[in-house]
């Protein structure tokens, strides 16, 4: 029910619905703006191709848009170059620069040349994607395969989260991360799931062949307790055309999978895919950087001057292409007026020098540790001591073990500037893993896909609330907050639109 969603009984707690509403109201304007940039937004017949939204309760709403975006990156690249913007390619952010509580720019390093870069800016926009790498990918494999994550961008380390957190901005809902069934079989429908979006869902089966509704996290736990796992996806009811579409989409992304499937005798038309287990994945949608409806990053309830965030990095339903494109274009519309009222930023040189030493330190370490070894240890701690099923003892032991890894950061080496990337990502992941574990320790209940074995019930006092975390005067702050309510004018508009939809449904 709507009340369940409002109270967060499915584990989803939006910190500020005004953000989501503002994005929603501008979707068609964004559609037009993207077309002006040269982005193809229509299907082969020249019309938008609307597809079903694949969540329970929304089957009748065609709210997704199918697009031909094979060349989306070069198209956007050309649009950026036409704008006259200066582009810093192959550049890794180190930290934000602050002065008197304001953000006045950032430092970065070129990972090809090792050049240290200082960027002075009246406004700094964080658009660095989600956090994915505190847990292993859907098919956890060693070394070079440790980055095979799902979603896009896939293997991001939450760099924007960490930069904002160290600069005093709030991160919210860091106890909540997405979950998924990690698919054991290599040849899956991960790429181009035409069938689901055309309204023909895959079928889900228990190990003994019972067909079930694709379970949420709570239902999967019940199946596990009943001995009904593993569960499988089956595509044997798909048409030949649907199978061919999946095959073409997968061939575009991962041709090797066909060879692997052939060697194993796996036929995707008749065999079923095992869903490995209930496992945590990335942080997005409701988790991330705390912002207001103008995309200003918040410290407590007040915006940080000069700092903005949107897209997968920000919390509150701003994720995905829709959130990133809409947020970015809305903010771009507002920026000229914002900038004209801002003073010229002043840089603290001592802060710059400190960040330079941090970033370039691994170049001087001889016979050190490879960054991926430390990252693997961070992931292992999150998998073992946090995971899907949490308890006080496990969480506190995980926090202790994570603390023991901090000394290893100074032992990481970089043979070339390129390897500085892994070092800086480990630095960010260490900070974010600590934020994640501490948020989980504070939340003493079970709700949605958040399970505490030692607190198996919903805590009514947590209804609708969320945790925010920041650093203030060198001290870690964690607070339980109420969401920012929807503005009366937004609520009135939403209720009128809902009534129109209900009337249209009744007429059809």
Per residue of the chain (508 residues), what is the pLDDT tens digit? 455 555 555 555 788 889 989 998 898 999 999 999 999 999 889 999 887 655 444 444 556 787 888 889 999 999 999 999 999 999 999 999 999 999 999 999 999 999 999 999 999 999 999 999 999 876 655 555 677 666 666 688 999 999 999 999 999 999 998 876 555 444 444 444 454 556 566 788 999 999 988 787 888 889 989 999 988 888 788 888 878 877 776 676 667 767 777 788 888 788 887 776 677 888 888 899 999 999 999 999 999 999 999 999 999 878 888 889 999 999 999 999 999 989 999 999 999 999 999 999 999 999 999 999 999 999 999 999 999 999 999 999 999 999 999 999 999 999 999 999 999 999 999 999 999 999 999 999 998 889 999 999 999 999 889 999 999 999 999 999 998 888 999 989 988 888 887 888 788 6
Asked if residue 434 belongs to a domain, the reply is yes
Residues 446 and 367 occupy one common structural domain: yes
**For position 59, what pLDDT does the model report?**
46
Asked if residue 8 belongs to a domain, the reply is no
- Give the number of C-alpha atoms closer than 13 A to the C-alpha of residue 337, restricted to the C-beta side: 6
Residues 267 and 354 occupy one common structural domain: no
Tell me the CATH number at 240: 3.90.700
CA dihedral defined by 18, 53, 8, 290, rounded to 10 degrees?
Answer: -40
Of 439, 486, 172, 424, nearest in space to 314 by CA? 172
Asked if residue 233 belongs to a domain, the reply is yes
Asked if residue 124 belongs to a domain, the reply is no
- Based on the structure, what is the number of domains in the chain? 2
Asked if residue 436 belongs to a domain, the reply is yes
pTM of the model: 0.90
Tell me the CATH number at 395: 1.20.58.100
- Give the number of C-alpha atoms closer than 13 A to the C-alpha of residue 37, restricted to the C-beta side: 22
The secondary element (H helix, E strand) that includes residue 166 is helix 159-166
Asked if residue 365 belongs to a domain, the reply is yes
**For position 241, what pLDDT does the model report?**
82
**For position 291, what pLDDT does the model report?**
96
Do residues 134 and 125 make contact, with C-beta atoms less than 8 angstroms apart?
no
Distances, alpha carbon 203 to alpha carbons 213, 273, 381, in Å:
8, 11, 34
Of 286, 285, 304, 283, nearest in space to 295 by CA? 304
Domain holding 373, by residue range, is 349-472
Asked if residue 394 belongs to a domain, the reply is yes
Residues 371 and 260 occupy one common structural domain: no
Q: Of 278, 295, 311, at which residue does a domain stop?
A: 278
Q: Of 236, 259, 278, at which residue does a domain stop?
A: 278
Asked if residue 108 belongs to a domain, the reply is no
Q: Of 456, 472, 488, at which residue does a domain stop?
A: 472
């Amino acid at each position: 029910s709507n009340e369940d969603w409002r109270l967060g009984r499915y584990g989803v707690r939006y910190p500020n619905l005004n953000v989501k509403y503002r994005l929603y109201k501008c979707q068609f304007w964004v559609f037009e703006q993207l077309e002006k940039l040269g982005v193809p937004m229509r299907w082969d017949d020249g019309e938008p191709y609307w597809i079903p939204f694949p969540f329970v309760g929304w089957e009748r709403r065609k709210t997704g848009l199918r697009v031909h975006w094979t060349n989306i990156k070069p198209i956007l690249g050309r649009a950026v170059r036409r704008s006259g913007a200066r582009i810093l390619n192959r550049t890794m952010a180190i930290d934000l620069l602050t002065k008197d509580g304001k953000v006045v720019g950032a430092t970065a390093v070129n990972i090809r040349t090792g050049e240290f870069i200082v960027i002075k800016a009246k406004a700094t926009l964080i658009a660095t994607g989600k956090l994915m790498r505190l847990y292993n990918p859907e098919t956890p494999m060693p070394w070079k395969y440790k980055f095979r994550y799902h979603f896009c961008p896939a293997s991001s380390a939450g760099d924007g989260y960490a930069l904002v957190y160290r600069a005093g901005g709030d991160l919210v809902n860091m106890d909540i991360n997405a979950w998924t069934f990690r698919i054991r079989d290599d040849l899956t429908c991960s790429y181009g799931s035409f069938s689901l979006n055309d309204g023909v869902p895959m079928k889900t089966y228990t190990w003994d062949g019972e067909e079930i509704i694709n379970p949420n996290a709570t239902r999967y736990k019940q199946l596990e307790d009943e001995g009904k796992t593993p569960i499988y996806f089956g595509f044997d009811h798909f048409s030949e055309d649907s199978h061919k579409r999946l095959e073409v989409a997968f061939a575009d992304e991962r041709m090797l999978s066909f060879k692997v499937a052939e060697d194993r005798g796996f036929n995707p038309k008749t065999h079923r895919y095992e869903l490995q287990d209930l496992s945590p994945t990335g942080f997005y949608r409701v988790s991330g950087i705390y912002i207001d409806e103008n995309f200003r990053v918040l410290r407590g309830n007040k915006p940080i001057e000069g700092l903005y965030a949107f897209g997968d990095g920000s919390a509150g339903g701003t994720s995905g292409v829709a959130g990133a494109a809409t947020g970015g274009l809305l903010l771009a519309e507002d920026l000229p007026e914002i900038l004209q009222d801002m003073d010229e930023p002043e840089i603290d040189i001592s802060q710059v020098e400190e960040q330079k030493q941090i970033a370039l330190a691994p170049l001087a370490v001889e016979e050190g540790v490879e960054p991926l070894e430390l990252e693997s240890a961070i992931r292992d701690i999150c998998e073992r001591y946090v995971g899907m099923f949490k308890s006080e003892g496990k969480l506190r032991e995980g926090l202790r073990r994570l603390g023991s890894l901090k000394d290893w950061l100074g032992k990481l080496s970089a043979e070339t500037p390129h390897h500085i990337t892994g070092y800086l990502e480990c630095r960010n992941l260490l900070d974010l893993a600590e934020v994640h574990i501490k948020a989980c320790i504070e939340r003493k209940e079970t709700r949605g896909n958040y399970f505490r074995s030692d607190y198996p019930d919903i805590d009514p006092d947590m209804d609708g609330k969320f945790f925010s975390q920041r650093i203030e005067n060198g001290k870690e702050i964690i607070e339980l907050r109420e969401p920012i309510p929807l503005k009366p004018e937004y609520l009135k508009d939403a209720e009128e639109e809902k009534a129109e939809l209900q009337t249209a449904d009744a007429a059809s």
